[in-house]
Structure 1
Amino acid sequence: MRIEATEIGETKGQPATDTLRRCAVTRVQRPKDDLIRFVLGPDGTVVPDLKEKLPGRGVWLTAAHETVAQAVKRKVFSRALKAEAKASEGLADQVGALLTETALQALGIANKAGNVVFGHTKVEQALGAGSGKGHVVALIHASDAADDGCRKLDGKARATTEGRGFPTVRAFSADELSLASGRPNVIHAALIPGGAARKFLAAASRVERYRMGPSAFADRYGLDTD
């Protein structure tokens, strides 16, 4: 799955300078959307600032589980924030859980906005008779879905789009998808064009990048990490 960023200050294919931040672990400069900001809470505990709205001096890390875990192990936060910083050993897992929660909330909003159809049959119908073109923007498969069902829908998507297919989200279990949508046993779904669908796709892409790490994510999807 690859979601192209549309709001990171791009100008003529290059990100604007004020949208770039340097990761305190890798020292690589990246667009803000590829990093996570952390601040110190009132009690001196490191707090992830996913919405980038919390006050105080911030430290930026590449949005990857391995990077956050390294920052904790190497005591990067105290050095970067120039203050004693208490970072939990489970901080990387905490951030992953928050990103997952954000994405699933976005799926719930997309569902309420009418931007999601559920069930293998309804997804097939959305893809069929040429309606996939312009009417479906992505497929969702539960991470524990049977491979055969996924292959059938992915194949139909490729046939509809002359081999290109659609972005596919497989970051969440059936239980997570069911809870987020308020529907039982959600295994397959399709996103219909709309602002809420785009927000969910962006959030789901961030979850996948965080879990895999930027290099593995880029390798899987043939992306440039420069």
Structure 2
Amino acid sequence: MKLSNRLDNIARFIPNCKCIADIGTDHGLIPIYAVLNGICDKAIASDIKKGPLQAAKKNIEYYGLLDKIELRLGSGLEVLKLGEANVIVIAGMGGYTISNLLEAEEKIAKEAEFLILQPTQHPEALRRYLVNFGFKILDEELVKDDNKYYHIIKTSKGEEPPYKNEAIYYLGLRLIEKKHYLLREYLTFNLKKLYNVSEKLDPNTQMDRYKEVHELIKGFEDVMKCL
């Protein structure tokens, strides 16, 4: 079974365990891959919509795994019991949405051994939530798939000191620490967008936004110098 680059890197972050839960499973590819490759003994695949669950069921049936992958209809982590899943995967949602799902069922989130999170946008919002609400960021990955960049965050209950440089919430401290091979390219891409935004701002009438953008530009440029 072949996964996209994004999904493959998510799967690589999942440690061997008894049970994983894939929240917002869509076509059920992560649970199928994890069970087929012996990463976990069983899995829970959930989605808030019936359509994706039906698509996931067809794929699970195709691989003969209905006895090992349980389908559940519902929102976020509310489909899980406390301690039921060793690893919880939430991928393909925005950073604010993932943060809200974790906050809504914080006990379940913190009871899991690991959370594997992949925001499609606003990774800075997700990192800020994790840092402020008792999660430790253990590892991070940056992947490029179909000409888009994706952050993958491995986290668990713990403490992560607040970042002094706002840019780190956007870029990821673990990615900076290991000087990730894609980070310079990602920085260049985002700096270009920030420069364009800056040129259109009037410091006289949009002072707060102007300062915010320029502080972020400086933070990005400082990180670039360290790579």
Q: Above 0.5 in TM-score? A: no
Q: What's the TM-score once normalised by structure 2's chain length?
A: 0.24
